[in-house]
């Protein structure tokens, strides 16, 4: 038995031969896009657009004269693609109406930097290639991509995780709907440079993949050359178990979802292998596989089942595919809460574009569809016995013909095992068919761009810029006694190097650092002040004054606010520690203020005086000192009375 998600352990995954690899796509933080000079917008994206254009894409040959199966599959679905375009961030390049500009050198530098960071060998001569995508996610039908590094690795939990390839590519458009033969995209993130890192299948449990993804994400954040926020890091998971083919789960946008997605995919593959064995015991093998197609138009033309009724009304067709000896197999469980019927239904949805559910009826699950009488009539018409299974499909004639082929294909594939395919991650942690797995045939060298020689001096220049790794940063934080809860944020902070300098050079206490950088600056941000305007040099000056005693700890907060308002020159004159005379003067003013006002609670007099003085000498005096000063004064006054 396959254990529940809550109970499954690493050993259980090992027992079924779970193997996973990871592809990480991380957007790079550049001002411009990869192959044009349009601004690269930051998320979150809005849904505003000026223009809509429609495209239909068709396949092209690879350099070796072949067509990739995934491209043919997409072409079969005959989609019309609608792009929603905001002209502030899209130009004619993205629409494939003008050739590309030279590759963004900043993005290339960052990609080389990460190759060095992950110990990869930099490619001597870079060739930009076209990777064909007929799903419409790129208006030109291909994504420009280039191999930058080979054979890198990252040490993780005592083992080397190898990265055979590190590539730089442009981001694709964002799908917003896919209905019938129309698919819609927003083009906001189109063309933004991203780095893709592919690992070998080195992981033996989904939990391990998750931890590794977190480690790599932290490494990216620690260097500060990548974009932060939702959707800027997307992952694909490659999963297989003993006896199965590799399946790719695409579009995983949250690291926390990896365990459940990995579990469901392992469960699906395990169940499909069991289904194959069960089929073989009934003598349904690839050699003996049979599926017969029947036209059910006359049998179901008076049905009350609305979807079929509508299909017939719109001159559509209804067909039945009889699967001899398949009784019970169509409701075979696959993932949590899904059955084999869903595998068929997804194929029909994606390839035949019959997108309205239910798009098929299967003999094992007929509830709430056609009537019992219609089932009996259907069985009689196709000559099905209680051992046989069948699938009914309906819709426009061209789509139904494609659907029939796909139903037969999917049932046939069940006799072989697990088909190799790309699957889409769904929010509930399951996956759905997206397309057959693409191969190398979809690559073609770009004819618009020259190759790029990477000079030794360029590599060495970038090697010198290498920053310490996330793990080393964590070690440093631990050595200096930073609170554990703050370490991750400190290590991935853009100001990490400054923080290190403050601690090591000015001996600032880590707790004070945490107070300023993780609490006070976000607090100011919430109040509407932009902390980005605060330069490292300004912060350095403020802390230098603090360490020399020119301003107090409390004055640092005020000084930062001054600096953010562009009033740095006020710091020495307005924030030097208050002298005894100034304190005396402030006290007298406070007493005068109180004399002009009525106090209802005389016992709070000391508190009110302290508050008044603190406001007057804000940032220049410590609360404790004022409190003691006021207490002494009041004591004297009471004594003299």
Query: What is the contact surface with another protein in residues (CB under 8 A)?
Result: 56, 58, 61-67, 75-76, 78, 80, 121, 123-127, 129, 131, 145-147, 150-151, 165, 167, 181, 398, 439-443, 445, 451, 453
What is the rounded distance in angstroms from the CA atom of residue 620 to the CA atom of residue 599?
A: 27
Nearest to 541 by CA among 504, 568, 570, 576: 568
Least separation in angstroms between residue 360's CB and another protein is: 21
Nearer to another protein, 60 or 497 (CB): 60
Least separation in angstroms between residue 397's CB and another protein is: 10
Least separation in angstroms between residue 241's CB and another protein is: 24
Nearer to another protein, 188 or 406 (CB): 406
Q: Give the single-character DSSP code of 409.
A: H
267: CB partners within 8 A, 6+ apart: 2, 334, 335, 336
Which position has the token pair 């349904």? Answer: 284
Nearer to another protein, 449 or 563 (CB): 449
| In contact, 340 and 330? CB cutoff 8 Å | yes
Nearer to another protein, 24 or 123 (CB): 123
295: CB partners within 8 A, 6+ apart: 317, 318, 319
Least separation in angstroms between residue 440's CB and another protein is: 3
Least separation in angstroms between residue 75's CB and another protein is: 7
What is the rounded distance in angstroms from the CA atom of residue 126 to the CA atom of residue 115?
A: 13
| In contact, 48 and 128? CB cutoff 8 Å | no
Nearer to another protein, 223 or 441 (CB): 441
Least separation in angstroms between residue 65's CB and another protein is: 3
Instruction: Please say whether the dihedral angle defined by the alpha carbons of residues 133, 137, 141 and 145, taken in this order, is positive or negative.
Output: negative
What is the rounded distance in angstroms from the CA atom of residue 115 to the CA atom of residue 219?
A: 12
Nearer to another protein, 16 or 120 (CB): 120
Least separation in angstroms between residue 107's CB and another protein is: 17
- DSSP line for 523-591: HHHHTT--GGGS-HHHHHHHHHHHHTTSS-HHHHHHHHHHHHTT-TTHHHHHHSPPPHHHHHHHHHHHH
Whether residue 314 has a cis bond before it, omega within 30° of 0 = no
Least separation in angstroms between residue 363's CB and another protein is: 30
| In contact, 321 and 390? CB cutoff 8 Å | yes
Nearer to another protein, 397 or 572 (CB): 397
Partners of 179 in the β-ladder: 182
Instruction: Give the DSSP H or E segment for 416.
Output: helix 397-416
- DSSP line for 196-216: EEE--S-BSSHHHHHHHHHHH
Least separation in angstroms between residue 61's CB and another protein is: 6
Q: Give the single-character DSSP code of 517.
A: I
Q: Give the single-character DSSP code of 250.
A: E
Nearer to another protein, 126 or 477 (CB): 126
What is the rounded distance in angstroms from the CA atom of residue 335 to the CA atom of residue 355?
A: 21
| In contact, 430 and 336? CB cutoff 8 Å | yes
For 96-141, where are the E strands, in sequence order? 121-122, 125-126, 128-132
| In contact, 451 and 355? CB cutoff 8 Å | no
Nearer to another protein, 126 or 312 (CB): 126
Least separation in angstroms between residue 472's CB and another protein is: 26
Nearer to another protein, 77 or 430 (CB): 77
Nearer to another protein, 383 or 445 (CB): 445
Least separation in angstroms between residue 198's CB and another protein is: 8
Nearer to another protein, 78 or 536 (CB): 78
Least separation in angstroms between residue 233's CB and another protein is: 22
- For the purposes of burial, counting CB atoms within 10 Å of the CB of 283, is it exposed (0-12), middle (13-18) or buried (19 or more)? exposed
Which position has the token pair 């003598």? Answer: 283
């Amino acid at each position: 038995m396959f254990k529940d998600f809550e109970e499954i352990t690493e050993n259980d995954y090992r027992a079924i031969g779970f193997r996973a690899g990871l592809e990480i796509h991380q957007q790079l933080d550049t001002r411009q896009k990869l192959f044009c000079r349009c601004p690269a917008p930051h998320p979150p994206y809005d849904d505003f657009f000026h223009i809509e254009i429609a495209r239909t894409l068709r396949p092209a040959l690879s350099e070796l004269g072949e067509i990739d199966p995934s491209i043919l599959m997409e072409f079969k679905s005959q989609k019309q693609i609608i792009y929603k375009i905001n002209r502030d961030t899209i130009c004619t390049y993205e629409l494939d109406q003008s050739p590309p500009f030279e590759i963004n050198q900043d993005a290339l530098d960052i990609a080389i930097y990460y190759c060095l960071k992950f110990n990869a060998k930099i490619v001597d001569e870079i060739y930009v290639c076209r990777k064909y995508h007929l799903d419409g996610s790129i208006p030109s039908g291909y994504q420009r991509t280039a191999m930058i590094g080979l054979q890198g690795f990252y040490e993780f939990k005592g083992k080397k995780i190898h990265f055979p390839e590190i590539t730089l590519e442009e981001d694709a458009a964002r799908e917003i709907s896919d209905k019938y033969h129309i698919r819609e995209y927003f083009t906001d993130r189109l063309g933004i440079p991203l780095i893709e890192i592919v690992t070998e299948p080195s992981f033996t449990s989904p939990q391990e993949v998750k931890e590794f993804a977190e480690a790599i994400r932290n490494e990216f954040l620690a260097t500060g050359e990548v974009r932060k926020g939702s959707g800027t890091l997307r992952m694909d998971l490659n999963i297989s178990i003993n006896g199965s083919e590799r399946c790719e789960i695409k579009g995983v946008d949250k690291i926390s979802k990896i365990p459940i997605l990995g579990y469901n995919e392992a469960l699906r593959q395990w169940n499909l292998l069991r289904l194959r064995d069960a089929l073989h015991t009934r003598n349904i093998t690839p050699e003996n596989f049979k599926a017969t197609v029947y036209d059910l138009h006359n049998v179901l033309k008076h049905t009350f089942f609305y979807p079929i009724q509508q299909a017939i009304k719109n001159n559509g067709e209804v067909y039945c595919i009889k699967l001899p000896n398949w009784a019970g197999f169509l409701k075979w469980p696959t993932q949590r809460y899904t059955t084999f019927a869903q595998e068929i239904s997804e194929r029909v949805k994606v390839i035949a574009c019959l997108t309205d559910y239910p798009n098929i009826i299967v003999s094992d699950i007929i509830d709430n569809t056609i009537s019992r009488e219609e089932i009996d009539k259907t069985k009689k018409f196709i000559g099905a016995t209680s051992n046989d299974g069948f699938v009914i499909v309906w819709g426009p004639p061209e789509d139904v013909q494609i659907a029939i082929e796909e139903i037969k294909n999917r049932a046939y594939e069940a006799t072989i095992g697990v088909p190799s395919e790309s699957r889409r991650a769904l929010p509930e942690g399951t996956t759905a068919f997206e397309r057959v797995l693409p191969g190398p045939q979809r690559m073609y060298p770009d004819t618009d761009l020259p190759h790029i020689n990477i000079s030794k001096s360029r590599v060495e220049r970038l090697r010198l810029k290498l920053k310490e790794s996330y793990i080393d940063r964590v070690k440093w934080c631990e050595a200096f006694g930073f609170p554990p809860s703050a370490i991750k944020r400190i290590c991935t902070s853009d100001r990490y190097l400054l923080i290190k300098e403050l601690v090591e050079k000015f001996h600032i206490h880590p707790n004070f650092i945490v107070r300023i950088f993780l609490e006070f600056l976000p607090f100011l941000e919430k109040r509407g002040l932009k902390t980005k305007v605060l330069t490292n040099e300004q912060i350095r000056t403020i802390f230098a004054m603090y360490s020399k005693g020119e301003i107090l700890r409390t004055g640092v907060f005020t000084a930062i606010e001054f600096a953010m308002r562009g009033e740095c020159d006020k710091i020495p004159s307005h924030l030097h520690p208050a002298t005894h005379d100034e304190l005396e003067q402030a006290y007298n003013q406070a007493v005068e203020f109180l004399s002009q006002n009525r106090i209802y609670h005389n016992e709070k007099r000391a508190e009110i005086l302290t508050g008044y003085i603190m406001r007057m000498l804000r940032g220049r005096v410590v609360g404790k000192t004022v409190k003691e000063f006021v207490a002494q004064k009041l004591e004297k006054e009471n004594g003299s009375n």
